[in-house]
Amino acid sequence: MARNLSNTKVEMPVQDPQVRAGNFQEVALGYTAEMAMEEAQRCLNCRHKPCMDGCPVRIDIPAFIAHIAEGEFEKAFLTLNRDSALPAVCGRVCPQETQCEQKCVRALKGESVAIGRLERFAADWYRNSACKVPPKPIPNGHKVAIVGAGPGGLTAAGELARLGYAVTVFEALHLPGGVLTYGIPEFRLPKDIVLAEVDALKRLGVEMMMNTVIGKTLTIDELLEMGFEAVFIASGAGLPRFMGIPGETLKGVYSANEYLTRINLMKAYEKDASTPIMRGRNVAVVGGGNVAMDAARCAKRLGAEEVSIVYRRSMKELPARQEEVHHAQEEGIIFRMLTNPVQILGDDKNWVKGLECVRMTLGEPDASGRRRPIEEKGSNYVLDADVVIIAIGTSSNPLIRITTPGLETDQWGGIKVEGESGKTSREKVYAGGDVVTGSATVILAMGAGKDAAKAIDEMIMGKKTDASDT
């Protein structure tokens, strides 16, 4: 087959930055079939498959790419689908530059193969053209409950349903998807994609119980009493952290979770939405991860004139995906690096009017290996802001922890599990995703869902007794 020897990826068409900064439609438009085949031909089909080592779920990358190069898109999708339940999602949101693409040999000289874009292409092609209804699995007579309809929970549900389990997913909010629905904005991950995945699960027979808060409406023990033979907890890490500086309860201060939930889940960006959102003129977003980028880009789309990312380290340490940083820059987001907020200032009616910041310099590397930011004494200055969004991280919600006796958690409130199985300190109770690891990635949550499904199946089928595990 013809090889494409170009040192750069085939460009993916995107909406013009000027135009897209005013709408919520998807930014990246995806490859056409021709572009995908051309890019696929850059893959050298390496025998040692180094790229696979960078993928947490070990997708057979050279195999799926070879199918694309041959124009066998359905085969490409089926190869992806063996290891990833949501390739249309991962192709869009995985931090590829630190995972699969980082290990690609083509990155030694030039750019890596565009693995993520190709993954997205195959998944979109399948959703739009083939989309065969899978045969309904034969019921095996066993029942499993899943807590949380985010990527971790949905993956476990799919795996178990395909094995014939009667699966019920319990979700606190009124829509499924977890962060994919309430956190990541439409312009980065269209909600139709998430809904299509959920519909596919429903066709497999998965029951979705919305509006059910485990720990409140029902407890884990009650689920077990109801006859569920195992419970998988994938409730995420949704508890927002605040900075503990003065002014955090002023009007116009949001946690990123609240800001994004109002916009994504409650559609506050639509003209006649019933949920309000403050449309600031000068918006300051504190933090440097994907969450901060999403909040900043939403603020821009809601009409802000100036949106700043305020981050205490430098561009190099920004934890967000490269593509998001790049897109944010193109859209005119201002990056105020080596800057740390010390207080939020309000006017006489308690509306935010500014963010007092101090400049930082980078010192010696700390335990995480990143250079520690140190305050420059007396460098305080005030950044004009009428909306401040705090995106400095989340921890896990305590509702399940405090209502499940015997469920062990770590010092941050994350549920403790044994190795990859996701087995917790409680018999028949498994956990995975952000509720175990703290905020991580979609693909890791999916991997955990898959591993736990396997462990649950082994436990119920008695392939492995509990005794041999401990």
Partner 1 sequence: MYKIVAKTRLFGNAAKMEILSPLVAKKAKPGQFIILRAKENSERIPLTIHDVNLDTGTVSIVYQVVGAGTMELDSLISGDSLCDFVGPLGMPTKTEGLKKVCVVGGGVGCAIAYPVARKLHEQGSEVHTIIGFRNKDFVFLESEFSNVSGLIRVMTDDGSYGRHGLVTDALKELLDEGHRYDEVIAIGPLVMMKFVSALTKKYEQKTTVSMNPIMVDGTGMCGGCRLTVNGEIKFACVDGPDFDGHQVDFDEVISRSRMYEDFEKRKREESCRLFKQEVK
- Name the residue nearer to partner 1 (CB basis): 243 or 362: 243
Among 213, 334, 374, 440, binds partner 1 (CB under 8 A): 213
Residues forming beta bridges with residue 231, ordered by sequence position = 145, 429
Q: Which stretch binds ligand FAD (CB under 6 A): 103-111, 129-137, 327-335, 429-437?
A: 429-437
How many CB atoms within 10 Å of residue 141?
8
Which residue in 125, 380, 390 sits closest to 242, CA to CA? 390
Site string for partner 1, 118-157 (x = CB under 8 A): ----------------------------------------
CA torsion 212-436-254-269 (nearest 10°) is: -60
Shortest reach from residue 90's CB to ligand SF4, in Å: 4
What strand order describes the sheet that includes 166-170? 207-209, 166-170, 143-147, 230-233, 429-431
**275 near partner 1 (CB under 8 A):** yes
- Name the residue nearer to ligand FAD (CB basis): 208 or 360: 208
Our measurement of the distance from residue 69's CA atom to the centroid of its chain's CA atoms, rounded to an integer in Å, reads 29
Q: Which stretch binds ligand SF4 (CB under 6 A): 6-14, 115-123, 223-231, 458-466?
A: 115-123
Shortest reach from residue 434's CB to ligand FAD, in Å: 4
**106 near ligand SF4 (CB under 6 A):** yes
Q: Which stretch binds ligand FAD (CB under 6 A): 63-71, 150-158, 279-287, 451-459?
A: 150-158
**295 near ligand SF4 (CB under 6 A):** no
C-beta separation of 66 from 79 below 8 A: no
If contact means CB under 5 to 8 A according to the sort of partner, which of ligand SF4, partner 1, ligand FAD, none does residue 116 touch? ligand SF4
- The tokens describing 115, both together, are 């693995």
If contact means CB under 5 to 8 A according to the sort of partner, which of ligand SF4, partner 1, ligand FAD, none does residue 126 touch? none
If contact means CB under 5 to 8 A according to the sort of partner, which of partner 1, ligand SF4, ligand FAD, none does residue 254 touch? partner 1
Shortest reach from residue 71's CB to ligand SF4, in Å: 17
C-beta separation of 49 from 84 below 8 A: no
**400 near ligand FAD (CB under 6 A):** yes
| Main-chain phi, psi angles of 397, to 5 degrees | -70, 135
Please report, for residues 181, 244, 353, 419, the alpha-carbon distance to residue 436 in angstroms, rounded to integers and kept in the order given: 20, 25, 38, 11
Q: Which residues from 443-462 bind ligand SF4, rule CB under 6 A?
A: 443
| Alpha-helix residue ranges (DSSP H) falling in 204-248 | 220-225
Please report, for residues 89, 374, 400, 403, the alpha-carbon distance to residue 407 in angstroms, rounded to integers and kept in the order given: 31, 39, 9, 9
**319 near ligand FAD (CB under 6 A):** no
C-beta separation of 265 from 259 below 8 A: no
Q: How far apart are CA 95 and CA 99, in angstroms?
A: 7
Site string for ligand SF4, 76-105 (x = CB under 6 A): --------x-----xx--x-x--xx---xx
Q: How far apart are CA 145 and CA 227, in angstroms?
A: 9
C-beta separation of 180 from 189 below 8 A: yes
Q: For tokens 């699960």, name the residue.
A: 201
Among 150, 280, 341, 414, binds ligand FAD (CB under 6 A): 150
Shortest reach from residue 378's CB to ligand FAD, in Å: 35
**94 near ligand FAD (CB under 6 A):** yes
For 126-140, the DSSP string reads IIIII-PPPPPPPP-
- The tokens describing 422, both together, are 């996701």
Q: Which residues from 169-208 bind partner 1, rule CB under 8 A?
A: 172-174, 182
Our measurement of the distance from residue 85's CA atom to the centroid of its chain's CA atoms, rounded to an integer in Å, reads 14
Shortest reach from residue 213's CB to ligand FAD, in Å: 5
Among 66, 100, 163, 179, binds ligand FAD (CB under 6 A): 179
Q: Write b or e for each residue in 167-186: b if 16 or more Cβ atoms lie within 10 A of its Cβ, otherwise e.
A: bbbbbbbebbbbbbbbbbbb
| Size of residue set near ligand SF4 by CB under 6 A | 27
Q: How far apart are CA 422 and CA 411, in angstroms?
A: 18
C-beta separation of 36 from 115 below 8 A: no
C-beta separation of 143 from 166 below 8 A: yes
Q: Which residues from 245-284 bind ligand FAD, rule CB under 6 A?
A: 260
Using CB under 6 A, list all residues that contact ligand FAD: 93-95, 147-153, 170-173, 178-179, 183-184, 213-215, 234-236, 238, 260, 290-291, 294, 321, 397, 399-400, 433-435, 439-443, 445
Q: Which residues bind partner 1 (CB under 8 A)?
A: 172-174, 182, 210-213, 216-218, 238-240, 242, 248-249, 251-252, 254-255, 257-258, 261-262, 266-267, 273-276, 278, 349-350, 397-399
Please report, as ranges, the residues that interact with ligand SF4 according to CB under 6 A: 43-46, 49-51, 55, 57, 59, 61-62, 84, 90-91, 94, 96, 99-100, 104-106, 113, 115-116, 119, 443
